[in-house]
Amino acid sequence: MIVILDFGSQYTQLIARRVREANVFCEIHPFNYPVDKIRASNPRGLILSGGPASVFSKGAPHPDPGIFALGLPVLGICYGLQVMVTHFGGQVVRSARREYGPARIDVAAGRDLFAGLSKTLNVWMSHGDAAQRLPEGFVSLATTANAPFAACADPARRFYGVQFHPEVHHTPQGREILSNFLFRVCGETPDWDMASFAESEKRKIRETVGSERVILALSGGVDSSVTAALLREAIGTQLICIFVNNGLLRQGEEERVRAVFGKTRGLTLEIVDARRQFLSRLRNVTDPERKRKIIGHEFISVFERSARKYRGIRYLAQGTLYPDVIESVSVKGPSATIKTHHNVGGLPKRMKMRLLEPLRFLFKDEVRELGRRLGLPADLLLRQPFPGPGLAIRVLGAVTEERLDCVRKADHIVEQEIRAAGLYNSLWQAFAVLLPVNSVGVMGDERTYEDTIAVRAVRSVDAMTADWARLPEDVLAKISSRIVNEVRGVNRVVYDITSKPPATIEWE
Ligand code: XMP
């Protein structure tokens, strides 16, 4: 495995993705991760990420100096190169001009990092500072018109640095450069993939839980479903899945979960009907944050109560993914609570259970690949995200059964039409929101005074930012006419044309 130290680059996770695509396992840790811990995890090499800081600035991030004495190969990328050069007594200077965008490098020798590649390469640069004098033992491997050290190395100690970003797709041969580091320099073998991950993870799960039972909150979403499928293969009848129908779910959700997990022999799938309870707690609540808190608490209490009848359970499984686990320095910083996200993080402590998180090292697309291997249906694995508080935050204002039914029907129409137009997989989300606004319309010869549905469709890569989708007019027309015709009580449909920021994806 490879350890990646994160100096705050927006590309750190991308480095990890590239290493894993080369079938090598890697982990991301903060830049100051202690050297003892690195040694204990027995990596074959280290990668130092880029970062926004300047090595000159006060408080600039520096790694534990011991990392250079581990005898391991090191690849420094951008800021990572500058940290290495500074550490060994070379000189980094502030450039007058920031170099940002495409550049061409001339490679001195087609060996090591550049083995098998051509003499000139297109790369992506994004830096202010640059190395001006290399430390003793280091040589230049590549140059650009502006930079004498676009890449450098101390081959004897196996230290390598690149000023550009091999992990981004604007560096077309970046994969080869990273692979050269992994296989030629570090001597890695490309044997990590989802099949080997599943096997080793199943073994670990069995060793950990022995003959104990494991309980899992199954929501029907991708993460909890893949967790369930993995545990089903690992421990079969020892798995208890609890699905809480809180009345805030999309159309057909309970049936879908039953169809996938209800027929596995020996597996306990308990479906809890808590619709009344959630609805009564939400009565007359209009504040979005209160809705979210109530739903979160209610979920914990329903789950606890359902779990209690299975006595003596010691393990709670959760579908936590790697992006939630990484202590990335890039995401630190002042961040206000914009919305309280619904999660069940408090549960294991409260219930005195140990937590089992078999997906905690995987990225979302790896989870999907694992799900495919475990035989889950493709439409489940490719589902758009759905918020924990469900339709309650898509009924603006007070939540009632009728209003939930209304938004659920409209949402189903949006999904059907988006799928029919072949747009489902290219959109991050598409859904309906029921507004607390009545307006005047005319139907037949009658004046109406009815509800308004807003349709929201966005494109996004990570939900941090999102762009409203320019849906084809005929798709919008179809959605609109179906909603006013098929959903009773709605006489107007509007389309949300705001991006995030300044809006958020959900309306509450
Ligand atoms: P916002 O509305 O903050 O949403 O732009 C960003 C993404 O997160 C989803 N979302 C949630 N997911 N629990 C979740 O699991 C929640 O409480 C929650 N709130 C919003 C939202 O659907 C979008 O994909």
Question: Does residue 122 sit in the same domain as residue 229?
Answer: no
Closest CA to 412 of 386, 439, 442: 386
For the record, the structure tokens of 259 come out as: 């169809």
What is the residue whose two structure tokens read 């992990």? 167
For the record, the structure tokens of 354 come out as: 């140990």
Residue 470 has pLDDT above 80, yes or no: yes
* pLDDT > 90: percent of the chain: 85
387: Cβ below 6 Å to ligand 1? yes
* pLDDT > 70: percent of the chain: 96
Atom of ligand 1 nearest to the CA of 339: 3
Catalytic residue, from 27, 152, 167, 253: name it: 167
What is the residue whose two structure tokens read 């439409």? 379
Asked, for residue 462, whether it belongs to a domain, the answer is yes
248: Cβ below 6 Å to ligand 1? no
Contact 188, 45 (CB under 8 A): yes
Atom of ligand 1 nearest to the CA of 393: 19
Q: How far apart are CA 251 and CA 22, in angstroms?
A: 40
The domain that contains 228 carries what CATH number?
Answer: 3.40.50.620
Asked, for residue 506, whether it belongs to a domain, the answer is no
Residue 282 has pLDDT above 90, yes or no: yes
Q: Any residues with CB less than 8 A from the CB of 331 and at least 6 apart, and which?
A: none
Q: What is the pLDDT of residues 114-124, one digit of tens each?
A: 999 999 999 99
Atom of ligand 1 nearest to the CA of 292: 17
- Please give the mean pLDDT across all residues of the chain: 93
pLDDT at 337: 53
Question: Does residue 323 sit in the same domain as residue 426?
Answer: no
Atom of ligand 1 nearest to the CA of 221: 15
Asked, for residue 19, whether it belongs to a domain, the answer is yes
Question: Does residue 40 sit in the same domain as residue 177?
Answer: yes
Q: What is the pLDDT of residues 388-405, one digit of tens each?
A: 999 999 999 999 999 999
pLDDT at 334: 42
The helix/strand count (H/E) of the chain reads as 15, 18
Q: Any residues with CB less than 8 A from the CB of 23 and at least 6 apart, and which?
A: 190, 191, 192, 193
Asked, for residue 272, whether it belongs to a domain, the answer is yes
Averaged over 461-481, what is the pLDDT? 95
Residue 105 has pLDDT above 50, yes or no: yes
Question: Does residue 453 sit in the same domain as residue 410?
Answer: yes
Question: Does residue 138 sit in the same domain as residue 28?
Answer: yes
Whose CA is closest to atom 4 on ligand 1?
Answer: 505
Whose CA is closest to atom 18 on ligand 1?
Answer: 387
Q: What is the pLDDT of residues 140-160, one digit of tens each?
A: 999 998 788 999 999 999 999
429: Cβ below 6 Å to ligand 1? yes
Question: Does residue 219 sit in the same domain as residue 154?
Answer: no
Closest CA to 413 of 382, 434, 399: 434
* 8-state DSSP, 392: G
Question: Does residue 438 sit in the same domain as residue 470?
Answer: yes
364: Cβ below 6 Å to ligand 1? no
Report the interhelical angle of 194-209 vs 364-373 (nearest 10°): 80
Q: How far apart are CA 469 and CA 426, in angstroms?
A: 10
pTM: 0.88
At residue 432, φ and ψ (nearest 5 deg) are -115, 150
pLDDT at 482: 98
Asked, for residue 355, whether it belongs to a domain, the answer is yes
Averaged over 3-29, what is the pLDDT? 95
Q: How far apart are CA 384 and CA 85, in angstroms?
A: 45
Domain boundary among 132, 167, 185: 185
Q: Any residues with CB less than 8 A from the CB of 265 and at least 6 apart, and which?
A: none
504: Cβ below 6 Å to ligand 1? yes
Give the total number of structural domains in the chain.
3
Q: What is the pLDDT of residues 343-359, one digit of tens each?
A: 555 677 777 889 999 99
For the record, the structure tokens of 82 come out as: 């500058």
pLDDT at 416: 98
Distance in Å, CA 341 to ligand 1 centroid: 7
pLDDT at 343: 56
Chain-centroid distance of CA 351 in Å reads 27
Residue 338 has pLDDT above 90, yes or no: no
Closest CA to 158 of 138, 140, 133: 138
Helix H or strand E segment including 222: helix 222-235
Question: Does residue 120 sit in the same domain as residue 59?
Answer: yes
Higher-pLDDT residue of 218, 10: 218
Domain boundary among 381, 403, 434: 381
Domain boundary among 381, 408, 433: 381
Distance in Å, CA 353 to ligand 1 centroid: 27
Asked, for residue 503, whether it belongs to a domain, the answer is no
The domain that contains 154 carries what CATH number?
Answer: 3.40.50.880
Report the interhelical angle of 364-373 vs 222-235 (nearest 10°): 40
339: Cβ below 6 Å to ligand 1? yes
pLDDT at 345: 59
Q: What is the pLDDT of residues 408-455, one digit of tens each?
A: 999 999 999 999 999 999 999 999 999 999 999 998 889 999 999 999
Name the band, by pLDDT with cuts 50, 70 and 90, for residue 333.
Answer: very low
Question: Does residue 61 sit in the same domain as residue 154?
Answer: yes
Question: Does residue 455 sit in the same domain as residue 323?
Answer: no
Lowest mean pLDDT among 103-107, 218-222, 323-327: 323-327
Domain range for 414: 394-495
pLDDT at 335: 44
Q: How far apart are CA 393 and CA 399, in angstroms?
A: 9
Asked, for residue 50, whether it belongs to a domain, the answer is yes
Averaged over 23-41, what is the pLDDT? 96
Catalytic residue, from 29, 127, 165, 412: name it: 165
pLDDT at 328: 59
Question: Does residue 106 sit in the same domain as residue 201?
Answer: no
Question: Does residue 153 sit in the same domain as residue 238?
Answer: no
Is 165 an active-site residue?
yes
The letter for the amino acid at 178 is: L
At residue 61, φ and ψ (nearest 5 deg) are -70, 130
Q: How far apart are CA 301 and CA 29, in angstroms?
A: 35
Is 167 an active-site residue?
yes
278: buried, middle or exposed (CB in 10 Å: 19+, 13-18, 0-12)?
Answer: buried
Residue 96 has pLDDT above 80, yes or no: no
Asked, for residue 500, whether it belongs to a domain, the answer is no
Q: How far apart are CA 6 and CA 15, in angstroms?
A: 10
The domain that contains 469 carries what CATH number?
Answer: 3.30.300.10
Q: How far apart are CA 490 and CA 454, in angstroms?
A: 11
